């Protein structure tokens, strides 16, 4: 079977297709529609800029710190490409439309979901977390503090799991179990709320809150209210109990040593979204309008809440920086072999998406990538 057909089969599984009859291969054409339509509705960059961007990724592929896909856009100009392998053992080449684990870029979808419920009056981001997770022993937290990483909660990745036993037949942690683990921690594990400390637990709890107020699985909520609204047909939140990690056509590596599945892959909110550069660009297009979130809601979502560095801030699910007097909202990610970058400029119509699946070498310089779009 051709590699492209294997990828199509994977996409069909993700969409819930069960029959492999000939007519079921229609998504193969649809999968290419986004790429084809982008070619028809955009123009190339100038030869100089196109060469500059292509050479940047070609160089980093050569030195070994870029293996993956990229897309860069400014006003009506677009360029995209790919370098390297999706599966190293079989030397399968990465294709521009391949789907990658977004790692912590997934947090923007959690932030958007919560802000959507805030916008609709289902909850208020200044509500007490205890109203929605009453079993949590910490009582003095707000949803805003979870969104801005100022909760003081410990990161569940770094807790002791020595005495923790998964249920019979269970292979991955569930969001509710993270609450149980946090409740088992001594007081010295907690910090005083109000100070920035990046913590994945915050976003697992936000995912759980979305599930409880909507009575809907978080994966389904994001699919119905974000992916579908932005026409992101193949983006999804992974459920490795339904589709094993080894069946994904892009694997995550550390210096070409593949990362195996781990129990942390079961939680949602902090990671786990799979998408490609084309569909993340569609999200950028959707966020330029008011179809998903109203302008006032987006303005609030992208308002800095806490300082993260000398020139950086964390807002509500997004990071914020001003570069060359332009406001950029973004998130980067790292998880089990995947490094990801999603940057959007609010003061100009430009953005870039870079997805990689080998963590060998250093992170790409986001300042350099921003400069490519000057």
Identify the pLDDT of residue 35: 87
- Count Cβ atoms below 10 Å from residue 22 Cβ, excluding itself: 7
Identify the pLDDT of residue 34: 80
**222 burial class (0-12, 13-18, 19+ CB within 10 angstroms)?**
buried
Domain total for the chain?
A: 1
What is the span of the domain harbouring residue 321?
Answer: 3-371
Per-residue pLDDT of the chain (374 residues; tens, 9 = 90+): 445 555 655 555 555 533 333 233 233 333 456 888 898 899 999 999 999 999 999 999 999 999 999 999 999 999 999 999 999 999 999 999 999 999 999 999 999 999 999 999 999 999 999 999 999 999 899 999 999 999 999 999 999 888 788 888 899 999 999 999 999 999 899 999 999 999 999 999 999 999 999 999 999 999 999 999 999 999 999 999 889 999 999 999 999 999 999 999 999 999 999 999 999 999 999 999 999 999 999 999 999 999 999 999 999 999 999 999 999 999 999 999 999 999 999 999 999 999 999 998 899 999 999 999 99
Q: Would you state the structure tokens that stand for residue 203, as one six-digit string? A: 């976003």
Identify the pLDDT of residue 1: 46
- What is the DSSP track for 310-369? SSEEE-SSSEEEEETTEEEEEEEEEETTEEEEEEEETTTTEEEEEEESB--SPPP-HHHH
Q: What's the CATH code of the domain at 325? A: 3.40.710.10
- What is the DSSP track for 131-152? GT-TT-S--S-BHHHHHTT-S-
pTM for the model stands at 0.92
Per-residue CA distances from 93 to 68, 72, 90, 96, 360 (Å): 9, 21, 9, 10, 17
């Amino acid at each position: 079977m051709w590699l492209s057909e294997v990828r199509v089969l994977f996409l069909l599984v993700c969409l819930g297709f069960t029959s492999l009859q000939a007519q079921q291969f229609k998504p193969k054409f649809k999968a290419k529609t986004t790429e084809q339509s982008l070619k028809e509705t955009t123009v190339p960059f100038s030869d100089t800029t196109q060469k500059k961007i292509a050479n940047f990724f070609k160089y980093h592929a050569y030195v070994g710190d870029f293996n993956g896909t990229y897309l860069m856009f400014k006003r009506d100009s677009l360029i995209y490409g790919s370098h390297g392998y999706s599966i190293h053992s079989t030397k399968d080449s990465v294709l521009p439309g391949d789907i990658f684990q977004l790692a912590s870029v997934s947090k923007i979808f959690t932030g958007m979901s919560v802000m959507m419920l805030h916008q609709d009056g289902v909850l208020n981001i200044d509500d007490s977390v205890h109203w929605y997770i009453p079993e949590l022993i910490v009582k003095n937290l707000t949803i805003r503090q979870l969104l801005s990483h100022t909760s003081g909660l410990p990161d569940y990745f770094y807790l002791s799991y020595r005495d923790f036993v998964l249920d019979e037949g269970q292979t991955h942690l569930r969001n509710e179990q993270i609450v149980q683990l946090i409740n088992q921690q001594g007081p010295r594990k907690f910090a005083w709320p109000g100070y920035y400390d990046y913590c994945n637990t915050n976003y697992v709890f936000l995912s759980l809150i979305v599930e409880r107020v909507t009575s809907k699985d978080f994966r389904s909520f994001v699919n119905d209210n974000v992916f579908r609204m932005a026409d992101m047909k193949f983006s999804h939140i992974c459920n490795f109990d339904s589709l094993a990690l080894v069946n994904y056509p892009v694997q995550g590596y550390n210096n070409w040593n593949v990362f195996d599945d781990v129990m942390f892959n079961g939680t949602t909110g902090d990671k786990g979204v799979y998408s490609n550069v084309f569909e993340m660009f569609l999200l950028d297009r959707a966020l330029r309008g008011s179809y998903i979130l109203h302008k006032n809601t987006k303005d609030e979502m992208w308002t800095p809440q806490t300082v993260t560095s000398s020139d950086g801030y964390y807002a509500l699910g997004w990071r914020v920086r001003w570069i060359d007097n332009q406001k950029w909202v973004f998130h980067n990610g790292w998880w089990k072999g995947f490094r990801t970058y999603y940057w959007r400029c609010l003061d100009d119509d430009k953005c870039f998406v870079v997805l990689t699946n080998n963590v060998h070498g250093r992170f790409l310089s986001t300042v350099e990538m921003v400069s490519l779009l000057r």
